Copies of this chain bind each other. A is one copy, B any other.
């Protein structure tokens, strides 16, 4: 296993909790690589998906399926932790699918193993808490935006915020889903904004 890839994951984890080598080595034997071709699914709706990973290379999206329509609601880029988090922590079938937008490479491990670490190491338990808090903060912010802003305002926020990567690297019709509108509507919003 490539040392640099390991460091990418360790650095991501240590943004939450600094680890001793010993603590880190509780996880490393359980890591494995996963390569995905563009369009390939990593996590599938309806299955109990316990895997968690970090994106080493590539972009991914996750989407819900409603009436046969795919609704993309999140994107993952390099160094992002990716999983069907709720399926992993609850052990219930995943409600969403995660697929590669471009050819991608992941470093993955099972959440079940992480849970055993929770039992054996306070540092890892703390990591689990901080990740959940981080996720809750992000979701709360996103939800507040959906409830208090118009689609146009949300699009402008995407342009200004630290989310340019989404604009640059993701097809626009997926971004429309992410904003809670249709691709046609997003195209109109863009036109309206250009006319100003």
Contacts and interface: CB of A to CB of B under 8 A. Distances in A.
A146 B180 contact: yes
A129 interface: yes
Q: Looking at chain A, what size class is its interface with the partner chain?
A: 20 to 34
Contacts of A137: 86, 89-90
Q: Which among A64, A73, A129 has the highest number of chain B CB atoms within 10 Å?
A: A129
Interface string A126-141: 1011001101110110
Main secondary structure of the interface of A (DSSP, over half): helix
Interface string A116-155: 0010001001101100110111011011101111000000
A196 interface: no
Contact of A143 (B66, B146, B148): B146
A177 interface: yes
Nearest to A146: B146
A148 B66 contact: yes
A64 B144 contact: yes
A189 interface: no
Contacts of A135: 132, 136
Contacts of A148: 64, 66, 71, 73
Given A64-B147, A71-B148, A86-B136, 14 more contacts: A71-B147, A73-B147, A89-B133, A118-B126, A122-B122, A125-B129, A128-B129, A132-B133, A135-B136, A136-B136, A139-B140, A143-B143, A143-B146, A147-B180
15 contacts: A64-B147, A71-B147, A71-B148, A73-B144, A86-B137, A95-B144, A118-B126, A118-B129, A122-B125, A129-B129, A132-B132, A132-B133, A135-B136, A136-B139, A143-B143
